[in-house]
Structure 1
Amino acid sequence: MLDGQELPDWPDSIVTEGAGLEGVMYTQRMIRKGPYKYVFNCGDLDELYDLSKDRHELDNRIDDPDYGSILSEMRQALADWMVHHEDGALNQYKRLRMG
């Protein structure tokens, strides 16, 4: 990879999982794909960032209609990842965000 060689099985996205801090349980998933970052915050407002324009993540585009198709794509990509990895939060995610 460092020599410029292509890796055919390299994923096009990365996902992180959060389950809260100390005694507070809080489901969170983040997917980064291309210049976009989508964060599913169960029980709170989700986040969508266009990192090509906002590398410090100061402008949440979650309610911006110009990003509607990107949001749909990112939500589906996260759902697909959750299915593939048998994520226990999948049903909750589908009910709250994919319904």
Structure 2
Amino acid sequence: MGLFDFLLTAKQKKEKVATRIGLESGAFQECPVCRDVTEAGAYANYADKVAAIVDQRLILPADDDMKLFQGNREELLRSVSEVAEKLPYHCSCGDSG
């Protein structure tokens, strides 16, 4: 949890959790240089792995962030999918050279 996370809206908090799940599943990648999160490839290729991680997180909630979704699997999967649609394919440092 970041220092200023208390300023985030509920939707932004959910997107942050969805991004963490996407990174854990391999559907998203984080650039080691600029820390931008990008799409690892076609999200559909990772959908099964994302679903497995979501199921694991909902069954064994290890953090308070999962309480945002109140056990709603479909909402969590939809959030990860929506974040995937917004992500660029390449990070910004790749654009700048």
TM-score, reference length from structure 2: 0.38
Computing the radius of gyration over CA atoms, which structure comes out larger, 1 or 2? 1
Higher relative contact order (CA 8 A, sep 6+): 2
Whose helix fraction is larger, Structure 1's or Structure 2's? 2
TM-score, normalised to structure 1, is 0.38
